[in-house]
């Protein structure tokens, strides 16, 4: 499978401000062939058009994606799961929430559910690796029993409570030791943890260059490409001042890197907007493993909350431009869309079929 371009549904506009069908239509017209579908998008669409019926909403979105030749890469995020100290909550997630997600994912035509590393408060999680691995093994085993079976993709968030580094996540993936349980490698979460520190004036950890070099060396030498289910490529904005309690991005009780991520991600190679993470080096290490498959652009930004259809179009355009530059720099043998892809005129939102029951 050649490298193919995907984008997260949340990366084209905020749910409740920008409709999911319109975002999908624009994504298709800009050459994206894959969508990481955020449950928040599906949930808002269900509540606004189907009286909260997620199954009806999933059928409608599946039909629209099929008409647009869009593949749903995964449903995400199945969050706050592994290592909970409240074991009754663990059982609820496995016996109540997970079967519902299986139903939705099956309707949506995807076999993959994304699991971000837990970022619940320390008193709600355990650092015991045996507990974390055991929880994820149960998850994988339940997915394997489904017909057809489901896969799970684990991602280390840079602000994860117990797992915040890619190699910690990869070690867990290896210990889970299930063919349907793999890892997502993300340039932002990797470089945003070992290289960047938005809480410092220069935006970088002490010894950033050496830390990154060592991390990427380890990645190249240890990662089995069969365990990499997809990758994400985006950048982050260097802030003008440290993200402390006085910063407008600060949210009490949330980790600094989480506040930074929610407000200031950028598409790759947008240096003119303040991008500064070593995206080319990090992405190159991902592909040096031999990876071929979905390359998704998962961007969160304050700009996504702005109103107007132009927000969706602008983020789709920016993402496509970053993809073209990634292809140019890494010299992919095959890629879709081709770098000379020309965007057709974007349809008006009224043409998308937003009336309940029309999709």
pLDDT of residue 359: 32
Domain that holds residue 307: 3-343
- For residue 95, is it within any domain? yes
Long-range contacts of 99-105 (CB under 8 A, 24+ apart): 100/54, 101/75, 102/143, 102/146, 102/150, 103/55, 104/42, 104/54, 104/55, 104/58, 104/75, 105/75, 105/150
**pTM score:** 0.94
Show the tokens assigned to 47.
Answer: 């509540």
CATH number at residue 317: 3.20.20.150
Give the tens place of pLDDT for each residue, 86-101: 999 999 999 999 999 9
The yes-or-no verdict on residue 212 having pLDDT over 80 is yes
pLDDT of residue 347: 53
- For residue 213, is it within any domain? yes
Domain count, the chain: 1
- CA distances 218 to 153, 214, 285, Å, are 20, 6, 10
pLDDT of residue 28: 97
Contact 275, 230 (CB under 8 A): no
- For residue 209, is it within any domain? yes
pLDDT of residue 346: 58
Give the tens place of pLDDT for each residue, 125-159: 999 999 999 999 999 999 999 999 999 999 999 99
pLDDT of residue 137: 98
pLDDT of residue 344: 72
Give the tens place of pLDDT for each residue, 171-205: 999 999 999 999 999 999 999 999 999 999 999 99
- For residue 99, is it within any domain? yes
The yes-or-no verdict on residue 358 having pLDDT over 60 is no
Mutual orientation of helices 187-194 and 256-264 as an angle, nearest 10°?
140
Distance, in Å, from the CA atom of 143 to the CA atom of 154, rounded to the nearest integer, reads 14
- For residue 62, is it within any domain? yes
- For residue 356, is it within any domain? no
């Amino acid at each position: 499978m050649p490298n193919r371009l995907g984008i997260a549904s949340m990366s084209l506009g905020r749910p409740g401000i920008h409709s999911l069908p319109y975002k999908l239509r624009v994504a298709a017209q800009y050459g994206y062939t894959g969508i990481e579908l955020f449950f928040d998008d599906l949930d808002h669409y269900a509540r606004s058009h189907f009286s909260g019926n997620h199954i009806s909403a999933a059928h409608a979105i599946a039909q629209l994606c099929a008409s647009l030749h869009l593949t749903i890469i995964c449903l995400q995020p199945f969050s706050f799961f592994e290592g909970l100290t409240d074991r009754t909550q663990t059982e609820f997630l496995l016996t109540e929430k997970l079967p519902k997600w299986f139903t939705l994912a099956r309707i949506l035509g995807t076999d993959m559910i994304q699991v971000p590393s837990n970022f619940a408060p320390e008193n709600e999680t355990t650092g015991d690796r045996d507990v974390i691995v055991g929880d994820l093994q149960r998850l994988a085993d339940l997915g394997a029993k489904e017909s057809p079976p489901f896969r799970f993709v684990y991602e280390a968030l840079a602000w994860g409570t117990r797992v915040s580094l890619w190699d910690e996540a990869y070690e867990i993936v290896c210990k889970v030791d299930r063919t349907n349980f793999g890892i997502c490698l993300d340039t932002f979460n990797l470089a945003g943890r070992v290289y960047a520190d938005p809480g410092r004036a220069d935006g970088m950890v002490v010894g950033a260059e050496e830390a990154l070099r060592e991390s990427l060396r380890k990645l190249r030498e240890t990662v089995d490409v069969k365990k990499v289910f997809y990758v994400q490529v985006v950048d982050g904005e260097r802030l003008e001042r440290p993200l402390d309690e006085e910063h407008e991005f600060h949210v009490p009780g949330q980790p600094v890197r989480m506040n930074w991520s929610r407000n200031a991600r950028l598409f790759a190679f947008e240096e003119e907007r303040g991008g500064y993470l070593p995206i080319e080096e990090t992405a190159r290490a991902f592909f040096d493993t031999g990876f071929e498959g979905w390359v998704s652009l998962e961007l969160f930004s304050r700009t996504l909350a702005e109103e107007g259809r132009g927000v969706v179009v602008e983020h789709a355009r920016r993402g496509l431009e970053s993809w073209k530059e990634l292809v140019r720099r890494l010299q992919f043998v095959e890629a879709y869309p081709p770098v000379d892809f020309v965007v057709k005129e974007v349809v008006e939102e009224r043409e998308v079929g937003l009336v309940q029951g029309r999709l």
